[in-house]
Chains A and B, each alone.
Chain A
Amino acid sequence: MDDIANDPGLVLNAFWVTIQLAVLSGLASLVLGTLLAAMRVGPVAVLARFGTVYVSIVRNTPLLVIFVLVFIAAPTLDLLVKTPFLVKGVIALTIYTSAFVCEAIRAGINSVSLGQAEAARAIGLTFGATMTQVVLPQAFRATVPPLASVLIALAKNTSVAAAFGLAEATARMRGLTNNNADDRWLIFITFAIGYIIIVEIMSAGAISLERRWRVTR
Chain B
Amino acid sequence: MIDYFEEIISTLKQNKLRAIMTGFSVSWGIFMLIILLGSGKGLEHGMEYNFSNTVKNSIWVYSGKTSESYDGLKAGRRIQFTNEDYDMLKQKLSGIDNISGRLYLFDELMVTYKNEYGKYNVTCVMPEFGKIKIMDFNKGRFLNYYDTKYFRKVAVVSEPIVDVLMKGVDKPVGKYIKLGGIPFKIVGVFTDPEDKKSKDIYIPLSTGQRVFNGGNKIRNLAISTEATTVAGNKKIENQLRNLLARKHRFSVDDKKAIYVNNTLEHFKQAQGAFAGINGFIWVIGVMTIIAGIVGVSNIMIILVKERTKEIGIRKAIGASPGSVVRLILSESILITSIAGFTGLLLGMGVLFIVDKIVSKAIENGADQMNYIFNHPSADFNIAITATLVLILAGLIAGYVPAKRAAAIKPIEALHDE
A-B interaction? no
